[in-house]
Structure formats: structure tokens, C-alpha cells
Amino acid sequence: MTIFPAIDLKDGKAVRLTKGLMESAKIYSDTPWELVKTFEEMGAKWVHLVDLNGAFAGEPKNLEQIRAIRENCNVKLQLGGGIRDEATIQRYLELGIDRLILGSIALRDPEFVKSMAAKYPIVVGIDAIDGYVAVEGWGEVSSMRATDLARAFADAGVEAIICTDVGRDGTLSGVNVDFTLEIARASGIPTIASGGVKDDSDIVALQKSGEVSGVIIGKAFYEGRINLNNFF
């Protein structure tokens, strides 16, 4: 199971949010690329990046920081936040990003996502509040169940699905293992758990399930609740 240390970019800084609320942002670094380098030196193979400003604006907003990360670090990068068209996908791939996460657009225009997955390394991000898909930076909750959206991409050629229980994200209350397994079983696609990881026990529980391909870890690391050296 792949461990994805996470960095959320807001106004050029590395932050973490609680339940997706921008006003809850806690700054952990003014130089995000140095933080990515730390993860790389610890042994991480991948780092998960989110352009938070971009998620709300619907277009890239932290390009300077993303470029600095790519130029200074060799770890693989998966990036999401505000990616809504093919031009943006191409721009990021030319910048050296390894794969792109399509979230809100996966609900709005699933056929577009499928067409992109046929050409590019695409991951679908499914964020849920009480089991229903949340979009536009989690500011809007749809009427579609997360498992139904996952099922829609079962044979679409996407590389993975990242599923986030928004209610747990940044709360250190424990990852939602059952929700992650529901998404994995509905889609048949490698599924990455996200939201609420509190300590080593969450990683162990996901590993024991045998059905989860990865886990995204943010605040648990930053707050000293988890030692990533134990898992690389």
C-alpha cells in the first residue's frame, strides 16, 4: 500500500484544513518544496498535492510553488485542484507532474474525464459528505452517492480513485475504512483512502483490509501523531 504524504497549497504556503474549510487553514511551511524534499528524503515515492485556491477558482493558482516543487524534488507527484480542461492537464504534464486528479469535473462531465483517462495519467477524486459527492472545493453537495459515481468509472481507464470523507478530513478522528472499501468494491479500481487519518493504527487497518491501494496522510504527520519512517 502506497503512503502519500499530502501538501495543500494556499496562497503559496503549505497548509492543512479542517473539514475543507479555507478559514481553518493552518500554515506548516512557507516553502512547500522544502517540505516535499523532506518527504523524499524520508523515502516517500509519491507526494499528494492540492491547489486549494485552484479548487475554488476552477483554474491553477499556485503554479509558482508547484514548479518549484518539481524543479527541486524527484519524488512522483499527483496533483489536484481546479483542473477542468485538457489544456490545464497538458500544462501540468509538461511541467513534470506525474498524474492529475479530476474531482468536480468527474461529477459534472464524466465523459470528459473518461476521454482524458484514455490519453493521460488520470486519477478521479471522489469527496463525500454523508455519502454524497461534494464538489467545488467541497462547497456544494450533490444528490449523487459517492459509490454510484465510483461505479461509473469502473472501466474508464483511470489509474486510481481517491476517496475522501470530508467530515473527517483534518480532524484526526480516524480514517473511514468502510467508506473506502465501499468505493473500492464499487469501482474495482485501485482506491486511495483520504480524510481523518489519526495514527499508525489507521494505516495498519487499511493494510489489513487487503483492498486499499494507498492512503493520504496530512495533519497526522504535521501534528506528530504518526512516524512515516515506519512505513517507507
Residues designated catalytic: 8, 127
Tell me whether strands 132-135 and 21-29 are parallel, antiparallel or unpaired. Answer: unpaired
State the angle between helix axes of 200-209 and 177-187 in degrees (0 to 180), rounded to the nearest 10. Answer: 30
Residue 194 contacts residue 221 (beta carbons within 8 Å): no
Q: Could you give the CA distance from residue 147 to residue 21 in angstroms, rounded to a whole number? A: 24
Collapsing DSSP states into helix, strand and coil, what is residue 9? strand
Grid coordinates representing 146 are: 459517492
Residue 26 contacts residue 8 (beta carbons within 8 Å): no
Expressed in percent and rounded to 5, the helix, strand and coil fractions of the chain are: 35, 30, 35
Q: Could you give the CA distance from residue 89 to residue 112 in angstroms, rounded to a whole number? A: 12
In single-letter form, the type of residue at position 146 comes to: A
Distances, alpha carbon 172 to alpha carbons 43, 138, 217, 232, in Å: 23, 18, 10, 21
CA dihedral of 110, 113, 115, 120, whole degrees rounded to 10: -170
